[in-house]
Structure 1
Amino acid sequence: MKVLVTELMWDDGIEELKRNGYSVDYDMELGRKRSELLELVPAYDALIVRNETKVDAELLDAAKNTKVIGRLGVGLDNIDLEAAKARNIPVIPAVHANATSVAEYVMASMLDAYRPLAEADADVRKGNWDRKFFTGYELNRKTLGLVGLGEIAHRVAKRANAFGMNVIGYDPFVKPYDHILAETGVRPVETLDELLIHSDFVSIHVPLTKATRHMISKDNFKCMKRHAYVINSARGGIVHEQDLVEAVQSKEIAGAYLDVLETEPVQKGSPLSKVEAIHLSPHIAGLTDESQSRTAMMVAKEVMKVLEGGKSLCAVV
C-alpha cells in the first residue's frame, strides 16, 4: 500500500511505515503545491498532512483510493471533516502527542515576559550593567487565565501551580467534576470577560471555529489589566490581530506571544512584526524533538491500523 506525506514528518514515523512494508512518498512542501497534489493523490491509500495542506472536498474527490487521513498534530481546521465523513474516510489526529511541548511553550512565554534574559544578555554584551532596568517580576501569586480547558490547558495548569500561580479558566463545556478542575484546582469563571479582568496572563487553548474566530478583540482588550499579556499557541484567527496591535500600541495591555497567525508565514510589512512587545514565533509551540517523534509514530501506527482493516480510537470521523 502507498502512503503520501505532504508536510514535515519526523523520520521515526516514516521508517515505521517502511519497516511494515508500506511504500512512502514524502515531500514536505507538497501541501503548498495544490495542482501537483491533486494530480498525485489518486494513487495513494493514505494521506498524512500537517496544518497547511487543505484537505477539502476537491482534494477528497481526487483521492479516490484514500482510506485514511493522518494529521500530524491536533488542529483540524484545514480538514473538511464533514466531507471526509461523507466519503467514509477516517481522520486521525495525534491526540495529546504535543500537549507537553505546548504547555512548556506557554511557561517559557510567561518567564520571558517577566525575566527577559535574552535582552539582558544583549545589553551586557554592549558593555552595560543595568541591574535596575532588568529587574523583573515573579510568576508566584500572579493569575493565569486559561481560555479553554482541554488537555493542553490541564498540563499548563499543573506547571503554573508549581510556580505558585493562581489559575482560573473559562470553558462553557467543562463541568465541575471534570479532571482539570478536580486535579489541578483551576477555578472556573462564568464569562470570558471575568477571566480577562482578573488575569495577568491569558493563554488560549481552543480550536478555531466560527464561534471562536476573533473571540479576543477590541472590547476584550479593554477589559484586561494594562500589564497583562496574551499568549496564543492555539490557532491564528482567535485573536483579532489588528485590534491586538492597537491595544498594545495604546498600552491597553503589555504585549503578546503569538505562535500562530491568521496568515502563515507572517506577511512582509505586517503590523504585528513592527511592535516589539508582540513576540512572534513560527508555529513551533508543539514542535520539539520529543513531541514530533511521538506525533509521527502515533500517526504512522494508527494509519496502519486502519489500512489493515482495524479501527483507530484516535479517529474523529
Structure 2
Amino acid sequence: MYKIQTLNKISYKGLEQFPRDDYEIASEIVNPDAVVLRSFNMHDMDIPASVKAIARAGAGVNNIPVDKCTENGQVVFNTPGANANGVKELVLTGIFMSSRKLVPGVLWAKGLIGEGDKVPKLVEKGKSNFAGPEIRGKRLGVIGLGAIGVMVANDAIALGMEVTGYDPFISVEAAWGLSSSVKRARGLESLLAESDYITIHVPLNEKTKGMINKERFAIMKKGVRLLNFSRGGLVNNNDLIEALEENTVSTYVTDFPDEQLLKQENVIPFPHLGASTPESEDNCAVMAANQVRDYLEYGNIKNSVNFPECQMDYSGTARLIIANKNIPNMVGQITSLLATEKINIADMINKHKGELAYNIIDIDGKVGGDITGKIEAIDGVIMARLLDPR
C-alpha cells in the first residue's frame, strides 16, 4: 500500500488516478511515499525520509527545496504544458486588451452611471479616446517556444499575425508542434527590434532574471506592447517604468504585478490567472498523479526537475532503481556487485543529468538478501530501491 500526502486541495480527477486498493491518500499522513502539492511552501517543512517523490501540480517548483530533495534521492516532478491552454488563452486576451484600450474604456463607461438618457450620446462622443489598432498583420515576437509559447505562436498565426519565434533550446517535441508559418528569429535582438508585440515564455533563473532591461528596451520599436505571463523577475521593473514613460513600451501586460507596477497607468495587471481554470487544475493534477504512480510502481521518470528522464517498459520481473553521482565506474561497481550476488541482469538503462545519474535494472530471477543496502553502501550511490513484481 502506497501512501500519498496532499499539501493542497488537489483535483479529484487527479487523485482518482491512484487505485484505492493500492493507495492511501490524505492531507495528514505518517511516513508518506509521495507528496502531491500545488503552492504549499515546503522549504520550512521536515520532509520525511520515507518520501520517494514530490509532484508539483504546476510548472514552477520555487516552493520545493529541490537541492535538498536531490541529496536525499527524492525525485521532484512538475507538470509542464498541463496548463498551457489556459495560459495561452490569457496571453491572447492580453494581446487584445493591450491594443484596444478595453480596460480604460470599460472603466470610463461605468463612470457614466447616473447620466440617464445622455449615456448613448456620451458614449459616441467619448469612444475616440479609446481607439486602438487591430492585431491582424502586426508582428508578434514570441520569446521561448515551450508548450505555451508554441500554442501562442500557432494561434496568433491563425488570427492573422506575423509571428517570429526565438528559442535556442527548443525541444524536438515543441518543434514538431510549431506551425511552419512561424519565422525563426536570427537572434533575440532582431526579434526585439522588429516586433510590434512581444510575449515572454521562458523560466526564471539566474540567466534569465532581468533579461528585459534598459539595453533591450533601447532596441525595441517605439510603442511596442510587451506581455509577460511567465515570471515577474524576467523584466527589470525600473527600466520598464522608464520605457513606459518614454512610450518605448505603450502597454505592459503581466500576470505578476507588484505595488510598483500597480501605480503605472499603462500597465494591465492580472492577479496570476494564467492557470486559474478548472481544466488546468484537472490537467495538472492528472499529470502529477500519473507521474508519481509510474515512478513508485515502475521506477520510470518523466518531467522531473532534478532527476534525468528515464523510462523502460516493464517486463514483469523484479526491478532495481538506483540513483548515484555521475562519476566514472559507478555502473561498473553496481553490475559487479550484482554479479557477485549471482543476480542476472535481464535489461537495463542508464541516464544522467548534470551531476546525477539514474539506472533502471530488470532482474532475471529472484533477488535475495539486502541487495539495496549493499548497493547503497557503494560510495557515490544516493538511493536504491527494489520494486515488487506486479
> Please, what TM-score do these two structures have when normalized by structure 1?
0.82
Residue 7 of structure 1 aligns with an amino acid whose one-letter code is N
Asked if the contact 2:211–2:235 (Cα under 8 Å) also holds between the matched residues in 1, the reply is yes
Q: Which residue of 2 aligns with 1:43?
A: 31
Aligned pair 1:281/2:281, yes or no? no
Change (3 A) 1:124 1:208: closer
Q: Which one of 114, 117, 141 corresponds to residue 99 of structure 2? A: 114
Change (3 A) 1:20 1:256: farther
Between the aligned partners of 1:293 and 1:143, the Cα distance in structure 2 is 34
Between the aligned partners of 1:54 and 1:175, the Cα distance in structure 2 is 30
Question: Equivalent residue of 2:275, what SS?
Answer: coil
1:75-224 aligned at under 5 Å gives the runs 75-125=60-110, 126=112, 127=119, 128-129=122-123, 130-174=126-170, 179=175, 183-224=179-220
Quote how far apart the aligned CAs of 1:178 are: 6.7
Residue 49 of structure 1 aligns with an amino acid whose one-letter code is L
Higher Rg: 2
Aligned pair 1:307/2:308, yes or no? no
Quote how far apart the aligned CAs of 1:52 are: 5.5
| Unmatched segments (≥5 aa) in structure 1 | 27-39
Residue 290 of structure 1 aligns with an amino acid whose one-letter code is E
* Superimposed CA distance per residue, residues 279-317 of structure 1 (whole angstroms, 9 cap, x where no aligned partner): 222222122111111111221222223233442433341
Change (3 A) 1:80 1:41: farther
Between the aligned partners of 2:294 and 2:49, the Cα distance in structure 1 is 20
Residue 34 of structure 2 aligns with an amino acid whose one-letter code is A
Between the aligned partners of 1:42 and 1:101, the Cα distance in structure 2 is 35
Question: Equivalent residue of 1:168, what SS?
Answer: strand
1:23-42 aligned at under 5 Å gives the runs 23-26=24-27
Between the aligned partners of 1:120 and 1:101, the Cα distance in structure 2 is 25
Q: Which residue of 2 aligns with 1:37?
A: none
Asked if the contact 1:18–1:24 (Cα under 8 Å) also holds between the matched residues in 2, the reply is no
Change (3 A) 1:260 1:190: same
Change (3 A) 1:85 1:176: closer
Question: Equivalent residue of 2:233, what SS?
Answer: coil
Name the one with the larger helix percent: 1
Q: Which residue of 2 aligns with 1:248?
A: 244
Q: Which residue of 2 aligns with 1:32?
A: none
Between the aligned partners of 2:57 and 2:7, the Cα distance in structure 1 is 10
Asked if the contact 2:211–2:234 (Cα under 8 Å) also holds between the matched residues in 1, the reply is yes
Change (3 A) 1:54 1:107: same
Asked if the contact 1:2–1:46 (Cα under 8 Å) also holds between the matched residues in 2, the reply is yes
* Superimposed CA distance per residue, residues 50-103 of structure 1 (whole angstroms, 9 cap, x where no aligned partner): 356245xx75x7331111010111223444544433322222211311111111
Residue 234 of structure 1 aligns with an amino acid whose one-letter code is S
Q: Which residue of 1 aligns with 2:13?
A: 12
- The total of aligned residue pairs comes to 294
| Shift >6 Å, 4+ stretches | 175-178
Residue 72 of structure 1 aligns with an amino acid whose one-letter code is A
Between the aligned partners of 1:116 and 1:47, the Cα distance in structure 2 is 44
Mean Cα deviation higher: 235-244 or 72-81: 72-81
Quote how far apart the aligned CAs of 1:122 are: 3.5
Residue 7 of structure 2 aligns with an amino acid whose one-letter code is T
| Unmatched segments (≥5 aa) in structure 2 | 113-118, 308-390
Asked if the contact 1:4–1:41 (Cα under 8 Å) also holds between the matched residues in 2, the reply is yes
Q: Which residue of 2 aligns with 1:291?
A: 280
Q: Which residue of 2 aligns with 1:227?
A: 223
Quote how far apart the aligned CAs of 1:22 are: 3.4
Between the aligned partners of 1:41 and 1:190, the Cα distance in structure 2 is 53
Residue 281 of structure 2 aligns with an amino acid whose one-letter code is Q
Aligned-residue identity in percent: 31
Residue 179 of structure 2 aligns with an amino acid whose one-letter code is E
Mean Cα deviation higher: 70-79 or 148-157: 70-79
Between the aligned partners of 1:41 and 1:241, the Cα distance in structure 2 is 43
Between the aligned partners of 2:39 and 2:145, the Cα distance in structure 1 is 22
Change (3 A) 1:48 1:279: same
- Using CA pairs below 8 Å that are at least 6 residues apart, which structure has the higher relative contact order? 1
Asked if the contact 1:41–1:63 (Cα under 8 Å) also holds between the matched residues in 2, the reply is no
Quote how far apart the aligned CAs of 1:253 are: 1.0
Between the aligned partners of 1:184 and 1:62, the Cα distance in structure 2 is 46
Residue 288 of structure 1 aligns with an amino acid whose one-letter code is T
Asked if the contact 2:147–2:174 (Cα under 8 Å) also holds between the matched residues in 1, the reply is no
Between the aligned partners of 1:171 and 1:277, the Cα distance in structure 2 is 28
Mean Cα deviation higher: 136-145 or 300-309: 300-309
Mean Cα deviation higher: 169-178 or 43-52: 169-178
Q: Which residue of 2 aligns with 1:72?
A: 57
Residue 31 of structure 2 aligns with an amino acid whose one-letter code is A
